[in-house]
Amino acid sequence: MTDFNPYIPLAVILTYIIAMLIVGEVARRKGEKTIVDFFVAGRKLGIFTIFWLSAGTWWSALAFLGSNGWFYGRGITFLANLMTNAIFGFLLVVVGVRVWRLGRQLGYVSPGDIVEDYYGSKLLRFLLAVILIAFTIPYMQVQIMGGGYIFEASTQGLVPFWLGALIITLTIMIYTSIGGKRAAAWTNIIQGVLLTLGIFIGGTVIIALAGGPQNIMNWIIEHHPELVVIKSPAFWGLWFSFPIIAIGGIMGPQMILNMLSAKSEKAIRVTGGLLPILATAFMMSMFIGFAGRILEPDLADPDSVMPVLLIKYTPVAFASVILAGGLAAAMSTIDQQAHAISVLTAKDIIEGLKIRISEGAAINLGRAAIILSLITAYIFALQKPEFLAYIGAVATSGTAQFLPLLLSVLFWKRATKAGALAGLVGGTLVTIWMQFAPPAPLKALGIMSGWWGLLANVVLFIVVSLMTKPVDPEKVEKIHELANRVLT
């Protein structure tokens, strides 16, 4: 490795951060002081913006760092994320288009608007908001941690973890609270492109350093054949259950808001239909992880494989730009989640409690929620206790519990308010149970907690619905008709 100047990566990263703040300010000037504008960007986001917004929201630091680290340390199971991304695209088309149609025709700006209008239940609106917030903050914490690590690794400790994580947190706090959804969307365009280019270009260079894909494969087959097979029944359970991440991702409040923010149905269709192609990056991650085994076989932290390889084997300016893509991956998810929490708080929690406030007050309350949620996630990120890693894993399993509720609004005529409540609460409790205290025989299957939660959710939903009074048939007919009507 040539002499390393940590001020070069610092300069690159600070340039990127200043660019995000400028974009946030421009977005603020373009915006209007209305709930529709702050929460869903006035429903004006076109195809290009929705595509990169969704890519940035969906792909996080785990995609940039964690994927390579998994292949390095545990082998090929992570390729199940190809199915995860395929299902993500599928749900975006089937569910997202219909959510958009309802939002456009009925004026929805939050997940709670959808469920309360259908079920007539403020309690359901309130509980859904609480559950979504509770499971979103831990995921923000994981992203802030990822960003802090990248900052520290890129500058070789010049900027320590706590300071790097703080800079990221403050940057997001500023541009999201001043610019709302529009700022979060516009920054995501830059972040989405950066992270995609980062993975593909950085990956191409790393693969070349290790002698090319054929050389990498020959070496791995000879020295570590266990990395190219799935080793145990528990890993097959994990392979099968990876798509819960897609379900949790689509049902995350930030993705629901993306659906409501689109200018047209076509924006969501094109995004859902083409976004999975970015998942081919996981094939690249496989080679990056395996290349790491050749070049740096003794890494204590497998998640650091890409930063270490770039810093040690490539020019520092090149490594800095690529790693800025990793930072972008983390920030593009955190800002959407913080913004989503602002909507859940200012709209769904407040209306769930039957409190009436003005639009201006709602926007300011939303800004306060952005600040508080980011501070909370940052404090969690600083603790780094191991058990919080479990909470990070349960995050998407938790938000996935919204799926039966949303599908019932769009497709199932026999659903009832009582069934919806039973399913949502029961599914959430089972998810938490199976994540933190699963019975040994079930844990041995390797299936992620969210699937057990969904099973309980669906069973309770159906059984209780069949025993209780259905939603007013006229309401059902109206909403189903609007959801399935193509808008030109």
Residues forming contacts to other proteins in the complex (CB under 8 A) are 76, 79-80, 82-83, 86, 89-90, 93-94, 213-214, 217-218, 220-221, 225-226, 228-230, 236, 239-240, 269-270, 272-274, 276-277, 279, 283, 286, 486
* CB of 93 vs other proteins, minimal distance in Å: 5
The smaller minimum CB distance to other proteins, of residues 208 and 389, is found at 208
| Tokens representing residue 163 in the block | 């300071």
Contact 71, 288 (CB under 8 A): yes
The smaller minimum CB distance to other proteins, of residues 49 and 373, is found at 49
* CB of 445 vs other proteins, minimal distance in Å: 11
138 vs 460: CA distance, rounded Å: 27
The smaller minimum CB distance to other proteins, of residues 119 and 290, is found at 290
The smaller minimum CB distance to other proteins, of residues 72 and 378, is found at 72
* CB of 277 vs other proteins, minimal distance in Å: 6
343 vs 370: CA distance, rounded Å: 9
DSSP 159: S
The smaller minimum CB distance to other proteins, of residues 75 and 198, is found at 75
369 vs 363: CA distance, rounded Å: 10
**Angle 246-248-253 (CA atoms, 0-180°, nearest 5)?**
120
88 vs 215: CA distance, rounded Å: 33
The smaller minimum CB distance to other proteins, of residues 97 and 305, is found at 97
* CB of 233 vs other proteins, minimal distance in Å: 9
* CB of 62 vs other proteins, minimal distance in Å: 19
281 vs 267: CA distance, rounded Å: 23
The smaller minimum CB distance to other proteins, of residues 76 and 409, is found at 76
* CB of 272 vs other proteins, minimal distance in Å: 6
Place of tokens 């359970």: 237
Three-state DSSP state, 351: helix
The distance between the two most distant Cα atoms of the chain, rounded to a whole number of Å, is: 72
The smaller minimum CB distance to other proteins, of residues 239 and 411, is found at 239
217 vs 291: CA distance, rounded Å: 9
* CB of 401 vs other proteins, minimal distance in Å: 22
Q: How many residues does the chain have?
A: 488
The smaller minimum CB distance to other proteins, of residues 210 and 279, is found at 279
392 vs 26: CA distance, rounded Å: 33
* CB of 341 vs other proteins, minimal distance in Å: 30
384 vs 403: CA distance, rounded Å: 30
DSSP 344-400: IIIIIIHHHTT----HHHHHHHHHHHHHHHHHHHHHHHHH--THHHHHHHHHHHHHT
Contact 252, 399 (CB under 8 A): yes
The smaller minimum CB distance to other proteins, of residues 85 and 191, is found at 85
Three-state DSSP state, 478: helix
The smaller minimum CB distance to other proteins, of residues 196 and 320, is found at 196
Nearest Cα neighbor of 360 from 344, 346, 350, 372 is 346
The smaller minimum CB distance to other proteins, of residues 2 and 488, is found at 488
* CB of 488 vs other proteins, minimal distance in Å: 11
* CB of 282 vs other proteins, minimal distance in Å: 9
382 vs 378: CA distance, rounded Å: 6
Element (H, E) at 295: helix 281-295
- Please, how many CA atoms are within 13 Å of residue 40, restricted to the half-sphere of its CB? 26
Backbone angles phi, psi at 298, to 5 degrees: -120, 35
* CB of 333 vs other proteins, minimal distance in Å: 23
41 vs 109: CA distance, rounded Å: 10
* CB of 146 vs other proteins, minimal distance in Å: 25
87 vs 82: CA distance, rounded Å: 9
Radius of gyration for the alpha carbons in the chain, expressed in angstroms and rounded: 22
